Structure 1
Amino acid sequence: MTTENKSIVQRALAGLIETGDVEVLAQFLSDDFVHHRPDSTTSTKAQWLAAVSAALAPIAGMQVEILHMLADGDHVVVHSRRWLPDAGPEIVVVDIWRIHDELIAEGWETIEPVAHAAANLVWWESDQR
């Protein structure tokens, strides 16, 4: 099952990146898809696709390098590096996808600008906790 689940995620992400069309991504999402952010907010399928669509224009031409893709049971984890073609800021993203009935049913996402990585390695030393 893990190979099939990785394939679903690969096809969904490749379709979005190659075409820039959220409808390609939408066909891989369940109707009750939920997206979770680190700040505890969640989005429905329609809300998340609208946010992805709105973000596409500013990030047109974004380069994506998949560093790791791991699957365990019904979850697929993707660790990627992303940057804009004009040498804009580079980010590292970790996405966790839960697959149900051959569709992506749930997603979690953490994004970190590479420029902030060193500071985030010592967050517990900050006086601003």
Structure 2
Amino acid sequence: MSTANKSIVQRALGGLVATGDVDALAAFLSDDFVHHRTDSTTSTRAEWLAAVGAALGPTTGMRVEILHLLADGDHVVVHSRRRLPDPGPEIVVVDILRIADGLIAEAWEIIEPVAQASANMTWWESTHH
């Protein structure tokens, strides 16, 4: 199951990364797809596809490099680096995708701007003083 699910995600992201066309991604999302952000907000399938189109569409020039693609049961983890055209910011993203019935049913996304990485390593220091 893990290998098949990894293949689903590879195909879904491959089309999106290559063309910036969200229709390539949309074909792999279930109708009741839910996207979760770290602040506990969620997006529907339509809302998330619109956001992805705005962020990764062909006119933004964003470059996406997939660094790791790991699968375990019905979950696939994608670790990627994304950069807007110079001098745009660079971010690192971890997406956790749940696959059900051959489609991406749910996703969780964690985004960290590369420039803030060192500051984020010390978030706990203020609680120990």
Q: Same fold (TM over 0.5)?
A: yes
Moved over 3 A (4+): 56-59
- Cα RMSD between the aligned structures? 1.7
What stretches of structure 1 of length at least 5 have no aligned partner?
A: none
2:23 is matched with 23
1:69 is matched with 69
The residue type equivalent to 2:108 in the other structure is W
1:11 is matched with 11
**Deviation for aligned residue 1:60:** 2.3
The residue type equivalent to 1:37 in the other structure is R
**Deviation for aligned residue 1:57:** 5.0
Is the Cα–Cα contact under 8 Å of residues 22 and 52 in structure 2 kept in the other structure?
yes
2:54 is matched with 54
**Deviation for aligned residue 1:90:** 0.9
1:89 is matched with 89
1:108 is matched with 108
The residue type equivalent to 1:48 in the other structure is W
**Deviation for aligned residue 1:58:** 8.8
Aligned pairs (5 A) from 1:110-129: 110-126=110-126
1:72-128 per-position Cα deviation (integer Å, ceiling 9, x unaligned): 00000011111123242111000000000000000000000000000000001137x
Greater shift, 15-24 or 39-48, is seen at: 15-24
- Paired positions, count: 127
What stretches of structure 2 of length at least 5 have no aligned partner?
A: none
The SS at the match of 2:124 is helix
Matches of 2:57 and 2:49, distance apart in 1: 14
Identity %: 77
TM-score by length of 1: 0.91
TM-score by length of 2: 0.91
